[in-house]
């Protein structure tokens, strides 16, 4: 048995990605938004197909693991990619060239992300990580007209390479101590005892955490994030903040739960420290932002802090809570970004003050964005409250009440900067000459669905919660 069918979804996706690139090459006259819809359709197609993998457990040569965990993230990534493709349609058509490559890379990135979640071996994980990174390097610097885009790409690629080197150095030590790169093997080795090499292992762990911390944007390895977010085209920013981040956590979670549980006391405080720093820095600096993308960058950094709490309190409960939170976060962030993209398409503004009086210019857009921001701030009725509550509770349950307290307090601070955006939209009146905005029908529909999704997760999280629980069951 070679279990090639385990690879099927990604192979199909790979084919589709190439097809899209080729399509654009062959038919340069093709309407660019059509490519977007094709991308979305293919992603959704694969998503539906891969849903049949639910509750199946299999592995490809102990390198790629197929289980509910993989399926959960695969669906998450594909869904995000599909919606972002739709949201990109107008923006890519109007502002960017090489649409085929853009959408192809979008799908390629999903492959990398999915394999990050699925990898059960360090080399595979590393390659998947780099695959995602590569697509992101290109996507971030995709806007050739905007100097910020190139700068973001430069910073991203150089720092990412640097972080990869640190990560690899760490992996080499772990390999050195345990003699294997497979998660299960590492665990066995650690359970058997490593004696005098503990110091080496710890250094390896520190470096590993650095690399992963860079990927998920944990303070102090986060500094590329705001710049990359601000420089990248908007949908790409969304893509990083959702797919790349979730993929990082997928890798993080599987690696640490399957490989490093025996030495949890060695790394727990490090993750907790990173989490605390991330929450504090992310939220404090976000207070002073004027650009909506940069604001969301810092906001997403602080979200990373919350998510790291779950890793620090690593257990089945907290892992479940983390996946739940990631799901809610993905929906919320998608809603926020797609609303901002729609606003950007209509006005070209991306400063917070540009949102002035949005409630009177387009009530629906303002309401969606408000819902998303409240959700990010963790207000009830919306996803953010429910998922964060369960996340923090799970962490408190596993001895990290102080860290949960940190999370709660900093997320209360975060409400301030979200309110500053809401203030612009609702409290202030539009400037003279600012008329009503037009939002494409499809985008509106997507926004309505996402807003309802935020409510759904916020009020009836059970389906997502159960999915998350079954996804993480096999990790422990």
Residue 405 as a binder of other proteins (CB under 8 A): the answer is yes
The least distance separating other proteins from the CB of residue 434, rounded to whole angstroms, comes to: 17
Task: Name beta bridge partners: 60.
Answer: 64
Q: Which stretch binds other proteins (CB under 8 A): 39-47, 56-64, 333-341, 411-419?
A: 411-419
State how far the Cα of 293 lies from the Cα of 148, in Å rounded to an integer.
Answer: 13
Q: Could you tell me the smallest distance in angstroms from the CB atom of residue 69 to other proteins? A: 15
What is the spatial distance between Cα 447 and Cα 425, in angstroms, rounded to a whole number? 17
Of the residues 80, 88, 120, 210, which one makes contact with other proteins according to CB under 8 A:
210
Would you say the C-alpha torsion 21, 136, 319, 382 has a positive or negative sign?
A: negative
The residue among 94, 104, 110, 96 whose CA lies nearest residue 35 is 104
Contacting other proteins (CB under 8 A), which of 31, 56, 431, 466? Answer: 466
* Binding span for other proteins by CB under 8 A among 15-23, 85-93, 170-178, 330-338: 170-178
Mask: binding to other proteins, 225-254, rule CB under 8 A, as x and -? -xx--xx-----------------------
Regarding 424 and contact with other proteins (CB under 8 A), the answer is: no
**Contact range with other proteins by CB under 8 A, out of 75-83, 237-245, 340-348, 400-408:** 400-408
Q: What is the token pair recorded at 423? A: 């203030």
Pick the binder of other proteins from 390, 439, 450, 471 (CB under 8 A). 390
How many other CB atoms are found less than 10 A from the CB of residue 306? 30
Taking CB under 8 A as the rule, which mask of x and - marks residues 314-343 in contact with other proteins?
---x--xx--x-------------------
Tell me how far, at minimum, the Cβ of 27 lies from other proteins, in Å.
26
Distance CA 271, CA 218 (A): 9
Q: Which of 98, 164, 347, 444 is close enough to bind other proteins by CB under 8 A?
A: 164
Q: Of 100-159, which residues contact other proteins (CB under 8 A)? A: 122-123, 126-127, 130, 134, 137-138, 141, 144, 147-148, 150-155, 157-159
| d(C-alpha 292, C-alpha 209), whole Å | 29
Stretch of 47-55, 107-115, 410-418, 444-452 lying at the interface with other proteins (CB under 8 A): 410-418
DSSP 386-445: HHHHHHHHHHHHTT-HHHHHHHHHHHHHHHHHHHHHHIIIIISPPPTT-------HHHHH
Q: Does 49 bind other proteins (CB under 8 A)?
A: no
Interface with other proteins, residue 173, by CB under 8 A: yes
Which of 25, 49, 192, 409 forms a contact with other proteins (CB under 8 A)? 409
> Interhelix angle for 224-231 vs 147-178, to 10°?
140
Nearer to other proteins, 37 or 162 (CB): 162
Nearest C-alpha neighbor of 231 from the set 134, 153, 336, 145: 153
Beta strands of 150-237 (E only): which ranges? none
Rounding to the nearest 10 degrees, give the CA dihedral for residues 51, 55, 60, 63: 100
Binding status of residue 199 toward other proteins by CB under 8 A: yes
Note whether 403 binds other proteins by CB under 8 A.
no
In the window 1-40, what residues touch other proteins (CB under 8 A)?
A: none
Integer Cα distance of 198 and 394 in angstroms: 29
Report if residue 51 touches other proteins, rule: CB under 8 A. no
Choice between 5 and 434, CB closer to other proteins: 434
Part in contact with other proteins (CB under 8 A); list of ranges 68-76, 109-117, 332-340, 408-416: 408-416
> How far is residue 395's CA from residue 276's CA, in Å, rounded to a whole number?
13
Alpha-carbon distances of 154 from 123, 139, 142, 164, rounded to whole Å: 25, 12, 12, 15
CA 86 to chain centre: 18
Token representation of residue 242: 């959702």
Q: What part of residues 260-299 is at the interface with other proteins (CB under 8 A)?
A: 266, 270, 273, 281, 284-289
Least CB distance to other proteins at residue 18 (A): 17
Q: For tokens 């994980």, what's the residue? A: 125
Q: Distance between CA 66 and CA 109 in Å, rounded?
A: 18
Give the residue, chosen from 261, 419, 448, 449, that forms a contact with other proteins under the rule CB under 8 A: 419
């Amino acid at each position: 048995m070679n279990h090639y069918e385990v690879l099927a979804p990604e192979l199909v996706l790979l084919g589709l990605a190439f097809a899209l690139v080729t399509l654009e090459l062959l038919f340069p006259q093709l309407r660019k938004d059509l490519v977007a819809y094709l991308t979305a359709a293919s992603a959704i197609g694969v998503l539906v197909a891969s849903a049949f993998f639910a509750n199946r457990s299999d592995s490809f040569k102990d390198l790629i693991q197929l289980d509910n965990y993989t399926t959960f993230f695969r669906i998450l990534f594909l869904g995000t990619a599909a919606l972002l493709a739709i949201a990109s349609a107008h923006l890519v058509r109007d502002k960017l060239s090489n649409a085929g490559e853009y959408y192809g890379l979008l799908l390629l990135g999903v492959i990398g992300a999915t394999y990050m979640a699925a990898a059960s071996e360090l080399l595979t994980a590393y390659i998947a990580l780099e695959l995602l990174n590569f697509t992101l390097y290109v996507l971030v610097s995709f806007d050739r007209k905007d100097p910020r885009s190139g700068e973001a790409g430069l910073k991203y690629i150089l720092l990412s390479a640097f972080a990869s080197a640190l990560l690899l150095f760490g992996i080499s030590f772990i390999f050195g101590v345990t003699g294997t790169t497979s998660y299960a093997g590492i665990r066995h080795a650690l359970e058997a005892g490593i004696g005098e090499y503990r110091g080496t292992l710890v250094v390896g762990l520190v470096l590993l955490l650095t690399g992963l911390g860079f990927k998920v944007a944990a303070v102090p390895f986060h500094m590329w994030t705001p710049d990359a977010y601000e420089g990248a085209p908007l949908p790409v920013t969304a893509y990083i903040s959702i797919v790349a981040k979730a993929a990082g956590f997928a890798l993080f979670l599987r690696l640490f739960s399957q490989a490093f549980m025996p030495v949890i006391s060695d790394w727990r405080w490090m993750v907790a420290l990173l989490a605390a720093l991330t929450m504090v820095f992310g939220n404090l600096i976000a207070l002073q932002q004027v650009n909506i993308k940069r604001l969301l960058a810092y906001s997403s950094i602080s979200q990373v802090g919350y998510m790291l709490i779950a890793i620090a309190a690593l257990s089945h409960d907290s892992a479940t809570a983390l996946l739940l939170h990631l799901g809610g976060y993905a929906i919320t962030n998608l809603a926020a970004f797609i609303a901002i993209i729609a606003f950007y398409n209509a006005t070209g503004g991306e400063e917070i003050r540009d949102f002035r009086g949005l409630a009177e210019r387009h009530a629906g857009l303002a309401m969606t964005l408000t819902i998303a921001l409240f959700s990010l701030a963790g207000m009830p009725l919306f996803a953010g409250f429910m998922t964060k509550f369960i996340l923090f509770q799970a962490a408190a349950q596993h001895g990290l009440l102080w860290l949960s307290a940190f999370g709660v307090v900093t997320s209360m601070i975060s409400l301030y900067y979200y309110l500053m955006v809401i203030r612009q939209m609702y409290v202030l009146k539009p400037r003279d000459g600012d008329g009503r905005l037009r939002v494409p029908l499809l985008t509106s529909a997507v926004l309505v669905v996402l807003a309802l999704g935020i409510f759904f997760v916020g009020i009836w999280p059970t389906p997502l919660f159960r999915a998350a629980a079954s996804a993480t069951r096999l990790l422990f």
